[in-house]
Structure 1
């Protein structure tokens, strides 16, 4: 049934009555009567809308109608009374992915350049000199558009050169494709909120969500932009901004390609070009000894660049800088400025930031697992990802290229890649597996010992498929209970975080926070080792948390959750993206959206019904 309403009048009256804290949302925190009477302007029929969820749905539907600028409009009661699970999933599939999609071209540039990270009067787009087509296209565009500058990155630029860009930061160009009438940017999907660029490992999880929602072309576009970054920037970037040229992200490119070809192999040439890029990245980014490859035969995160990372806000490192400011008898802001500009150099502080930059490369920024030690660790996460690379490359060569793949004059076989994977598996189990704890720990190759910090990355080998059946059993039966809260698994255990000084900031990737990638990798690992009931439980816990949060807080789908209080109200070093909007959440958050769609694909029909009824996890498991 549809109700004909005066849009502005109904919108104002609803807010005046129900949005008592005036945050432009209707949430459980508001103290209104939670009961609003709709009156059809034509028939004068009345309909009572009661309860936070239904009232916030009404607000959202009215917000959409307001954008049409019409005085009168129709509200569909079916949308207001929609099952919350169906509503969240529908909005992700049909609205959020589109809202999060960007292109770097004439049509899409304004949305990319004019955001809160652009801190110069004339936004700059950097284009690699090796991208001849891009240089020509964007230089022509520079002449056409106002308030827009194009800068060309030199061939084989140094990290010292990259540091000079901090005085004039900008966005990095991505791939273009020829359409019928013009060149257009290859689309990518951003995480959301202030993250208005293409992020490395976020893009893999987003790609999984896109594939589930039948948006194969967008998932393939993500892969194209991965390939472009490897070709022109030498690595898959943390994100496509100038100050991220110094670091990569967790390697998940091969996993995305494998998921794409499960849906459809576009053609042999397409697959060949991506497999070449994956192997190039593997060899040049990850397997150069002394950089990200260590003497143990295992890998580490190891970002380039020197000194403080550019993207953090002033004051972020005050607890780190304070002793050095005192050492040099300087006010902390003055010291920070001198250090940033490299007018003052301190070897110990530089070493701290080697670890900090590497920690940011890991995607886990930040966690006490990696602070001031990241570059010394053969971490479980990166070696699980690289084991998966080796297995994926072997699989793709065996399945689609007759067991032999040639790049230029160099041939490799699927068996060679299986041997690489077998070696890595052996080394991970030798150095990182702890039988007594039933967990994998990062290996500190400098001090030649495990670093026994209990992190959710212990489940990544389960996802990668490198565990024995016994190891999987211990991870599920011994380790997993230490991480489980009502709404999913925490980034670390409470015990590990308890060992950290109370003076330290609360790290967002540690206890008690829960993140979508940790949940998704755990679910896939549980399924891979046939822990089907446990997978159902863990999926339900997380989807329940997302659903109840969206119901109580006007459709909010945040970046992360505090699992101790089952809330998006996070008090950690970087806040919580995806929670700031007026009237209607238009984009959710990239990997949180993906986790919802992926979880629904796994969840049984019976549990989906219970999820829609909001049955609490503690009443089921």
Structure 2
């Protein structure tokens, strides 16, 4: 894969260092109007002649990526559902032109973007967005995205964080199994869907269960590179002096991006210091719960279409479920936590990630009961679920709540019969979405779940609207019938 930032060399660095762009991702995503070689040669010649107008040069040789939905004005007559229905066509893109000179990884089929600054598909965002697309009856886009992801797994061995070349060193929380399951449930021939994507599911499973992402038997987040992120290059350059004294700093920043929780006190030794990040030295409870789901679904598919392999996945699922119960649960807090690798001890952070073992069905009944109590005391807010109860200024901490974490918590609680508290999260979250929509005419990426009518704050960039996974989760929750767990009732785990 051709990395345009490498071919543009010093030009890319000078653009990033210029301070002319508020969002450095806009530089990384720009489309070249001429070849990289011609562009770089012109830049070298002009720079050798003395002072140059870098912005004018950019305007001559580049085209910025523009969000089609950015100027969309909500019809005052539209309620939230009508707004989302009108927005879907603006978030769906045609198949890419493979000859386009940019950092985009060309997709062969139509796809859905997140919105705002994120004008490409992202991995775990897509699953939650597809929940809404299925509710809206837009199955052709769902099928196209499954094919795009299966193509990516065949090509790269995994689904990239997002479909840009600079994301090819990492993935994101593995939800492809859930995408396949959702499509199979909505299909008239679910067995055919499962058989079609079994090879891709098995190949992706090998990616997550191989070194370095599996370390001493348990999964962790990782990144193949230990350099400044291309999409946040200027920001990361500020860490150079600290990185020189802190081996692996950039890899840990990147690994937090693979987690999707970029950034959170979950990954920090000091919750007030991003420089203390240690993502690769943590076994995340949510990642291991998702791999349990992956193993369980592989066993289900193989039972139907490849029975000779089903027992292997059942055994690995049983092992991982036991590991979650024994190594990630803290009886003192009554909650599931991340595990610190170097200390071989539980992290003290209470986060919404601790509800993933309920979603995966790994918790015992007693653990689920204690977990529900702790969640209500530490994380439950008026308008949904906090990501953590730590106010650090990072966007995956208090006071913010995020659509995917609400959905996982709701379905995890339902698996164990805690429907009333699941309904509290659901109704609070829907209220937050509808109140902010009433104020702004927008659905946004995160919400302040402590404050009525407040969008979320914090992070490395301005609050984005669009917004794929909020649209999807909102529609799925509003349009669902009876309150059922997405994965069905949990089998009784050993106490």
Normalising to structure 2: TM-score of the pair? Answer: 0.77
Please list, as runs of the form range in 1=range in 2, the aligned pairs for 1:75-474 lying within 5 A after superposition: 87-92=79-84, 94-105=85-96, 109=97, 138=98, 142=99, 148-149=100-101, 170-174=103-107, 176=108, 186-264=109-187, 266=189, 270-283=193-206, 285-289=207-211, 291-295=212-216, 297-312=217-232, 314-315=234-235, 318=238, 320-321=239-240, 323=242, 346=244, 348-371=245-268, 372-398=277-303, 400-401=304-305, 403-404=307-308, 412=309, 414-474=310-370
SS in 2 for 1:366: coil
The structure number with the bigger radius of gyration is 1
Q: Give 1:396 deviation, angstroms.
A: 1.5
Check whether the contact 2:103–2:165 (CA below 8 A) recurs between aligned residues: yes
Select the residue among 508, 511, 523 that pairs with 2:398.
511
Q: Give 1:277 deviation, angstroms.
A: 0.6
d(CA) in 1 for partners of 2:385, 2:73: 35
1:559 corresponds to 2:437: no
**Counterpart in the other structure of 1:539:** 426
d(CA) in 2 for partners of 1:215, 1:352: 42
Cα deviation, 1:498-529, whole Å, max 9, x if unaligned, reads: xx6xxxxx100011111001001111112221
d(CA) in 1 for partners of 2:352, 2:191: 37
Alpha carbons of 1:270 and 1:486: their partners in 2 closer, same or farther (altered >3 Å)? Answer: closer
| Higher helix fraction (1 or 2) | 2
SS in 2 for 1:208: helix
Check whether the contact 2:384–2:424 (CA below 8 A) recurs between aligned residues: no
SS in 2 for 1:452: coil
Q: Give 1:569 deviation, angstroms.
A: 4.4
Alpha carbons of 1:487 and 1:575: their partners in 2 closer, same or farther (altered >3 Å)? Answer: farther
Select the residue among 383, 392, 412 that pairs with 1:525.
412
Q: Give 1:268 deviation, angstroms.
A: 5.5
| Higher strand fraction (1 or 2) | 1
Check whether the contact 1:380–1:441 (CA below 8 A) recurs between aligned residues: yes
d(CA) in 1 for partners of 2:354, 2:190: 37
Check whether the contact 2:386–2:399 (CA below 8 A) recurs between aligned residues: yes
Q: Give 1:475 deviation, angstroms.
A: 1.3
**Counterpart in the other structure of 2:477:** 599
Alpha carbons of 1:81 and 1:239: their partners in 2 closer, same or farther (altered >3 Å)? Answer: closer
Give unpaired runs (5+ residues) of structure 1: 1-61, 65-78, 110-137, 143-147, 150-168, 177-185, 325-345, 405-411, 501-505, 580-587, 606-621
Select the residue among 372, 385, 390 that pairs with 1:476.
372
d(CA) in 1 for partners of 2:242, 2:177: 43
SS in 1 for 2:210: coil
Check whether the contact 1:298–1:428 (CA below 8 A) recurs between aligned residues: no
Q: Give 1:486 deviation, angstroms.
A: 1.4
SS in 2 for 1:314: helix
SS in 1 for 2:218: coil
Alpha carbons of 1:223 and 1:443: their partners in 2 closer, same or farther (altered >3 Å)? Answer: same
Q: Give 1:562 deviation, angstroms.
A: 1.9
Normalising to structure 1: TM-score of the pair? Answer: 0.62
d(CA) in 2 for partners of 1:381, 1:63: 37
SS in 2 for 1:514: strand
Cα deviation, 1:174-214, whole Å, max 9, x if unaligned, reads: 2x3xxxxxxxxx11111101100010000111111111222
Alpha carbons of 1:63 and 1:527: their partners in 2 closer, same or farther (altered >3 Å)? Answer: closer
SS in 1 for 2:410: helix
d(CA) in 1 for partners of 2:347, 2:377: 20
Q: Give 1:63 deviation, angstroms.
A: 5.8
**Counterpart in the other structure of 1:332:** none
**Counterpart in the other structure of 1:590:** 468
SS in 2 for 1:193: coil
- Give the 4+ runs in structure 1 shifted more than 6 A: none
d(CA) in 2 for partners of 1:448, 1:402: 38
d(CA) in 1 for partners of 2:178, 2:89: 23
Q: Give 1:561 deviation, angstroms.
A: 1.2
**Counterpart in the other structure of 2:18:** none
SS in 2 for 1:315: helix
